[in-house]
Amino acid sequence: MTKEKLKKTMDAIGWPRLIVFLFFAAIVLTAYFNGIDVASYFSSTLKYWGMWGILVLAMVPSIKCGIGPNFGVSLGIVCGLLGTLLAIEFNIAPRVNAAMPGAGPWMAMLFAIVVSIAVAWLVGIGYGKLLNMVKGSEMTVTTYVGYSVIYLMCIVWFRAPFSSGEIIWPLGGAGVRNPVSLESSFAYLLNDFLGFNLGPVYIPTGIILCVLLVCLVVHFYFRSKTGIAITAAGANPTFAKASGIDVDKMRIKGITLSTVLGAMGIVVYTQGFGYLQAYAAPLAMGFLCVASVLIGGATTTKATITHVIIGTFLYQGLVIFTPPVSNELLAGTDISDTMRQIIQNGVILYALAKAKGGSSNE
């Protein structure tokens, strides 16, 4: 293979993806040869892949429309948290179960998703208009917006007028406690649905199918007339405008879809944990989502569903496998969070460097 062909191959694969894949493979092999239960940790990787899948997918529309990685996906996340809290507040699952036994959790989750989508759609439109006003600085602004919204919502959650005993603080009588259990609504619903053991590995079929279904919907959306226009507006705004495409409108549609996916994603994520955390817990979620899609081979200007699927698996695999391996090799220490931070921030820095500081969309 010539140097030129090798360079093209490496550019296609991407250095972050290759390095992380090799590191992940080394971690798994180390775990196996040290007698660590690889099957159990692989099962956990599949579960967390499903829990994070839709959140990472939220990066695709924002990149395709030309805004870049959506560090401000926190806007969608707080919309999803609101929808989930309202499902608990209105006691959806027990009420439906009284009329249709067994259907309560599904209706509660459906209610949470529908409410989350509705709120996120409105928020996303406003968010898109804001980003249209700061073209060329989108990634910086989305980061500030993401942090600001989380801290603002900390105040809102603390004084929110909920009345359900499962939500409010036991002594204060108001505000959202931390965490809030989903046991009465839809905890572990997708994780357990149609799950089965493939040898020693547990396959969480429900959550995998959910992620793949949403990926399929997004795939076909971007093959539609509107989706193609969004992609064109992001890839070449000047040509798109000359072709009669309203670039600003397409950017708003792209970031709105990203916000909606963020709202749906956090609902799926919280059911997997069985509880939600409404305060500062989502603070770093945007960075993790960005890092995951970049590890999968995406750039600040190009992202596909394949990048989401591969990147989420690799990132979650590292997060799951690193602690037991580090504990085995370096007894009494845990470098897993350090490694996560190095990988997360490293791939983001690499992507920004490759983008040469970003480019204007005009």
CB atoms within 10 A of CB 239: 11
24 pLDDT band, cuts 50/70/90, is confident
CA dihedral 102, 104, 105, 106 (to 10 degrees): 90
pLDDT of 323 > 60? The answer is: yes
Residue 80 has pLDDT above 80, yes or no: yes
Q: Provide CB contacts within 8 A for 338, sequence distance 6+.
A: none
Per-residue pLDDT averaged across 178-196, rounded? Answer: 91
- φ/ψ of 317, rounded to 5, equals -60, -45
Query: Average pLDDT, stretch 33-60?
Result: 92
Tens-place pLDDT, residues 130-156: 999 988 888 888 888 988 999 999 999
Angle at 145 between CA 139 and CA 147, to 5 degrees: 105
- Residue 24 contacts residue 299 (beta carbons within 8 Å): no
Tokens of 140: 């910086």
Question: Are 290 and 142 contacting, i.e. CB atoms less than 8 angstroms apart?
Answer: no
Predicted pLDDT at 335 = 61
pLDDT per position as a tens digit, 93-116: 999 998 898 899 999 999 999 999
pTM of the model: 0.90
State the pLDDT confidence band at 280, using cuts at 50, 70 and 90: confident
The encoded tokens of residue 91 equal 């006691």
Tokens at 54, concatenated: 């839709």
Give the separation between CA 207 and CA 196, rounded to whole angstroms. Answer: 12
Residue 347 pLDDT greater than 90, yes or no: no
Q: Record the tokens describing residue 82, joined without a space.
A: 């609101």
CA dist 208 and 318 (Å) reads 19
Q: Which residue has the tokens 């898109």?
A: 128
